[in-house]
Amino acid sequence: MRKWNLLWPFWAITIVHGVAILIFVKGFLLTRTELPFYSRCSDVSQSPCFTSDSLSDSNPSVPPSSDAANSSRCWTKPAVNRILIIVFDALRFDFVAPSTFFEESKPWMDKLRVLHKMALERGSSAKIFKAIADPPTTSLQRLKGITTGGLPTFIDVGNSFGAPAIIEDNLIHQLVQNGKRVVMMGDDTWMQLFPHHFKKAFPYPSFNVKDLHTVDNGCIEHLLPSLYEDDWDVLIAHFLGVDHAGHIFGVDSSPMIEKLEQYNSILEKVVDVLERQSEPGGLHENTLLLVMGDHGQTLNGDHGGGSAEEVETSLFAMSFKKPPASIPSEFSTSSCQLDLEGREICTSTIQQLDFPVTLSALLGLPFPFGSIGRVNPELYALGAGTWKLEGMKVGNYINSREQEEWMQNYVNVLCINSWQVKRYIDNYTASSVIGFSDEDLLHTGSLYADAMENWSYISKDLLSNNDGIDVIPSLKRQIDAYSNFLASIAELARSKWTEFNLKLMTLGFGIMVASLFIHFLAIKRVGKQCSSSFATEDCGTTLELMLSCFMVAMRACSFLSNSFILEEGKVTSFLLATTGIFMLRYSITKQKHFLNVFIFLLLMIYCRFTIEVGLLKQADTSAFLKAYPSWVLEIASLLPGWTYIAKSVPIIALILLAQLLLKNITSSHSKGVWKFVMYGTILCYILIGFHWALENDMLHFAPAIEGIGKNCIPRIIYATGLGQLSLLLFGQLFGEDKLLDCRITLLTKTAAMLAACSPTIIILAGKQGSLVALASLIGGYCIIGMDNLKRGEDGNGRILTVDCLPVTQWSLFAICLFFSSGHWCAFDGLRYGAAFIGFDEFVLIRQAILLTIDTFGFSVILPIFGLPFIVAKKYSSSQAAKGENTLFMRLSQAYLMYGLIMAVPVTASILCVIIQRRHLMVWGLFAPKFVFDVVALILTDVSICLATLYYVPHPESC
């Protein structure tokens, strides 16, 4: 019973943390209420706007609907018969726009030349748009956004794997309900979102980011033949090659350029087929082509956040109608520049929020009930190319009749658009517990009332059919009034969609603060059980305690600034280096362990360098990009064998790890289960080296051997790791620890556990894995050496107490390893490719486990299971006589300290989120940081509980 008396506080703290986080999340990460209402054609009769029939009948100046669309009139007059939507996942704006639009030309620019050609040759019937997406920029949220017209909520990021079906009103639902035939091919996420909507579907698995071609080849196989068929009204082809090439190789890579060139070839064929069948009576006479991205990507190929590179994507639209349409310049957002050949080319801007409602207006469908976007004037005019307005300006009364025609139609569309948005906001406020505030509703209601009052006067003039009245200025003001209302709604939704529940957030924060006191009391309790005061001998007011508290407090306080969160890796490495300089004082004074301190400081330089490399992956404006590449290239030019050195260093590090493990086997008392586990790890290291050699493009192996190395070796390593853990569990349950003394047993168990876990973590981390593992081993050795520096090897006769400083250094070093291994606290900081090492198909639970191990292996799993080294190295057999089971008591106190040190910054992170909940970067920075911190804390708590269960000796053993 005594061991459970020591263990229960760890489980209690884990439960308290879980409760606190759940309560806080319920108050902070609230999801938007999805209303179960759907728009119908008959609903428009409730609006104060004209129907498509009444507008045409009451005003002869308004042209009738096209013959092809006369059979079906709903909210607006159908302007197109068919829409072909080609989605290139993660299509950056600079993939599509000419390179002359940017300060510097890059290798990946000007590859989609066919789009430039069409935009130049077809004038106003073909245009390139910069499409602005709303974060988070994961594919699921973007697909929901471009079909529902609503804003995605942060919590939905968790649904990016295994997406649920969309239950709220959306563009695809409206298409099917109104008799449109929809065909889909490509990314199977569409099938998860819309499982029963497509007339025909050709889905392909989308989550294997290492696969650049399967989805694209499937689209190519079915796309061109489908263009000759008349069994669809809307065709969606979703390509994934660019997204996957970015994740694996980055934007500036040969596979990326090859993919863009392949897409250019595909688009040339598609445009050729459409043009040849666009003559009067042809299959594609009234077809609208849309080539678009769902989001952008960073130079490192990541996306998910709200940076300009991630939210700026592209939309190319082309109508095959003749003559082409244009709009008054007052409604245009065009920006024109000369291309490489000196020809003027223009691009415009569109919000992705406006996409579904604009397409609904073009197809004559009811607008999705939850849409808050605005019918974009340029895309709407381009698709509805029945009004000839070339060169027209407001105030230019030449062709004023045609201008008036276009504006009457567009202002009526905006009237319906505004009425729908107002209807949705009113229903949302009435139906949802989390509605908009009275002040916000009063402001938007005032804007809508003013717009509708003005509309009532204009509509009288339109219905009176008085040709002597110039209504163009009034129409212009009315369009502005509707646009202002719609813009205010979108701005309101973006800023205040989530009404934070401050009571729950404060309660969660209070429970987290209480957990810190529980930690402290648990540490004191362990001391009292050994008749040792926590305050008098261990920590008290020593300089080491003050330094430890200062370091933890500094790191926690840094989370109150978004700049310090962005530089968290640098801050942590700086604090850790400061502790090394502090220990340098003792080393110089006592003239010993100087080598340990010196190596530790060198290791901090390595950590800082690797963290800078991680910052390079996040932004092209990082200091590394500006400072380091110049001399790196110089060194590479001076050393012809630099490439071979870079590829061999990870193998050398792996050999060193195997050598150290072999030395541990031969020099320790390892026997039985523990010995088999360590030999199994050495075998795994050999397999990892062979796996990396097979991936080396400088070596050439038979295809069969390469196939075995790709998937079989990682699976063997995973299976071996599970087998080793099973052996360790068997040894814990049935082993005889009393055959060895407690210290040797603890050291052997620790070495065996780290040996069992390390191969899986290393292979998931890639070729940097062995270097990070070796760095963690060296760092741990140096921290243990510095722990022996101040009070000596014997610990001055202390029985239980554990120094605070080495535990603090251990925890800070774990954080440094997180950033050194190429991660950062953002969803684009996840290395999704690691989840597919050894597997090609996607299985949610399996891939989630592998991704978690890769993300937190070096920063949580290995440091926690390696912590006993600090305790065991300062524990001598003579100390065991001073108290029963004292070794485990010291270990339990060390784990409580470690948990407290990790919980303090998470508590500060929660406080930061409460304070900064209205900050501009709350969803782009503070919320992802919070999510990563709480996941790491829960994983830390669970790992500590498992570690204490594993390391606890039998009652009769020690």
* pLDDT band with cut points at 50, 70 and 90 for residue 372: very high
Question: Which residues, in sequence order, are bridge partners of residue 66?
Answer: none
Q: What is the mean pLDDT of residues 919-948?
A: 85
Cβ proximity of 713 and 686 under 8 Å: no
Task: State CA 567 to chain mean position distance.
Answer: 18
Rounded CA-CA distance 799/876 in Å is: 10
Q: What is the mean pLDDT of residues 616-628?
A: 46
Residue 421 within a domain:
no
Place of tokens 């108050």: 27
Rounded CA-CA distance 879/797 in Å is: 7
Lowest mean pLDDT among 450-459, 494-503, 885-894: 494-503
Q: Which residues contact 311 (CB under 8 A, 6 or more apart)?
A: 132, 133, 134, 135, 137, 295, 296
> Same domain for 102 and 2?
no
Q: What is the CATH number of the domain that holds 364?
A: 3.40.720.10
SS (H, E, C) 444-509: HHHHHHHHHHHHHHHHHHHHHCCCCCCCHHHHHHHHHHHHHHHHHHHHHHHHHCCCCCHHHHHHHH
Provide DSSP, 53-115: HHHHHH-TTSPPPPGGGTT--SSS----SEEEEEEETT-BHHHHS-GGGSSS--TTTT--HHH
Question: Which residues, in sequence order, are bridge partners of residue 869?
Answer: none
Q: What is the DSSP letter of 919?
A: S
Check residues 904 and 210 and name the one with the higher pLDDT: 904
> Same domain for 5 and 112?
no
* pLDDT band with cut points at 50, 70 and 90 for residue 60: very low
pLDDT in tens, 799-830: 345 778 889 999 999 999 999 888 888 776 78
Residue 399 within a domain:
no
> Same domain for 667 and 809?
yes
pTM of this prediction exceeds 0.85: no
Q: What is the DSSP letter of 828?
A: G
Provide DSSP, 601-639: HHHHHHHHHHHHHHHHHH-TTSHHHHHSHHHHHHHHHH-
Residue 432 within a domain:
no
Rounded CA-CA distance 191/798 in Å is: 65
> Same domain for 803 and 663?
yes
Q: Which residues contact 393 (CB under 8 A, 6 or more apart)?
A: 328, 329, 330
Q: What is the DSSP letter of 176?
A: H
Q: Which residues contact 618 (CB under 8 A, 6 or more apart)?
A: 298, 300, 824, 826, 828, 829
> Same domain for 116 and 214?
yes
The CA-to-CA distance between both ends of the chain, in Å, stands at 14
Rounded CA-CA distance 126/345 in Å is: 11
Q: How many domains does the chain have?
A: 2
Q: What is the mean pLDDT of residues 209-225?
A: 91
353, 385, 417: which is the final residue of a domain?
385
Helices 2-28 and 886-915, axial angle in degrees (round to 10): 10
Q: From 545, 557, 601, select the one nearest 577 (Cα to Cα).
A: 601
What order do you get walking across the sheet with 182-187 strand by strand? Answer: 200-204, 182-187, 234-239, 82-88, 287-292, 312-319, 126-132, 344-351, 335-338
Cβ proximity of 884 and 865 under 8 Å: no
Q: What is the mean pLDDT of residues 625-654?
A: 62
Residue 715 within a domain:
yes
Q: From 306, 254, 299, 833, select the one nearest 617 (Cα to Cα).
A: 299
Rounded CA-CA distance 941/860 in Å is: 10
> Same domain for 21 and 141?
no
Give the amino acid at 622.
Answer: S
Rounded CA-CA distance 787/793 in Å is: 9
Q: What is the mean pLDDT of residues 332-353?
A: 82
* Neighbour-count burial of 159, counting CB atoms closer than 10 A to its CB (0-12 exposed, 13-18 middle, 19+ buried): middle
Rounded CA-CA distance 398/899 in Å is: 77
Question: Which residues, in sequence order, are bridge partners of residue 349?
Answer: 130
Tokens at 814, concatenated: 């774990």
The C-alpha R_g of the chain, in whole angstroms, comes to 32
> Same domain for 194 and 336?
yes
Per-residue pLDDT at 863? 94
Residue 50 within a domain:
no
Q: What is the mean pLDDT of residues 645-662?
A: 86
Tokens at 557, concatenated: 């306080």
Q: What is the mean pLDDT of residues 272-280?
A: 90
Torsion angle (degrees, nearest 10) of CA 606, 609, 615, 619: -160
> Same domain for 135 and 14?
no
- Listed in sequence order, the DSSP H helices in 766-885 are 769-791, 804-820, 844-856, 862-866, 868-872, 877-880
Q: What is the DSSP letter of 766?
A: G
Per-residue pLDDT at 407? 80
pLDDT at 181 exceeding the cut of 60: yes
pLDDT in tens, 143-175: 988 999 988 765 544 344 445 678 889 999 999
Residue 39 within a domain:
no
Rounded CA-CA distance 530/524 in Å is: 10
Tokens at 23, concatenated: 């309560």
Provide DSSP, 398-427: TTHHHHHHHHHHHHHHHHHHHHHHHHHHHH
Rounded CA-CA distance 353/374 in Å is: 8
Residue 225: how many other CB atoms lie within 10 Å? 9
Q: Report the alpha-carbon angle 398-401-406, nearest 5.
A: 115
Residue 409 within a domain:
no
Residue 106 within a domain:
yes
Check residues 857 and 451 and name the one with the higher pLDDT: 857
Per-residue pLDDT at 675? 83
Q: Which residues of 482-501 are buried (b: 16+ CB within 10 A; e: fewer)?
A: bbebbebbbebbeeebbebb
Secondary structure tally for the chain: helices H, strands E: 36, 9
Q: Which residue range is the domain that position 223 belongs to?
A: 81-385
Q: What is the mean pLDDT of residues 264-275?
A: 94
Check residues 71 and 170 and name the one with the higher pLDDT: 170
367, 385, 403: which is the final residue of a domain?
385
pLDDT at 397 exceeding the cut of 80: no
Cβ proximity of 92 and 101 under 8 Å: no
874 — phi, psi (to 5°)?
-105, 10
SS3 content of the chain, % helix, strand, coil (to 5): 65, 5, 30
Rounded CA-CA distance 928/944 in Å is: 24
Torsion angle (degrees, nearest 10) of CA 908, 912, 913, 919: -170
Q: From 38, 39, 37, select the one nearest 364 (Cα to Cα).
A: 39
Rounded CA-CA distance 838/764 in Å is: 9
> Same domain for 2 and 122?
no
* pLDDT band with cut points at 50, 70 and 90 for residue 385: low
What average pLDDT does the chain have? 80
- As a whole number of angstroms, the longest Cα–Cα distance in the chain is 109
Q: Report the alpha-carbon angle 623-625-631, nearest 5.
A: 105
333, 361, 385: which is the final residue of a domain?
385
Per-residue pLDDT at 525? 78
pLDDT in tens, 294-308: 999 888 787 776 778
298 — phi, psi (to 5°)?
-80, 175
- Listed in sequence order, the DSSP H helices in 196-253 are 214-226, 241-249
Rounded CA-CA distance 252/283 in Å is: 40
> Same domain for 246 and 371?
yes
Q: Which residues contact 592 (CB under 8 A, 6 or more apart)?
A: 789
* pLDDT band with cut points at 50, 70 and 90 for residue 67: very low
Tokens at 545, concatenated: 């305690």
Cβ proximity of 588 and 594 under 8 Å: yes
Q: From 545, 568, 546, select the one nearest 558 (Cα to Cα).
A: 568
Per-residue pLDDT at 173? 94
pLDDT at 532 exceeding the cut of 80: no
> Same domain for 100 and 18?
no
pLDDT in tens, 345-367: 888 999 999 999 999 999 999 99
> Same domain for 754 and 880?
yes
Per-residue pLDDT at 391? 40
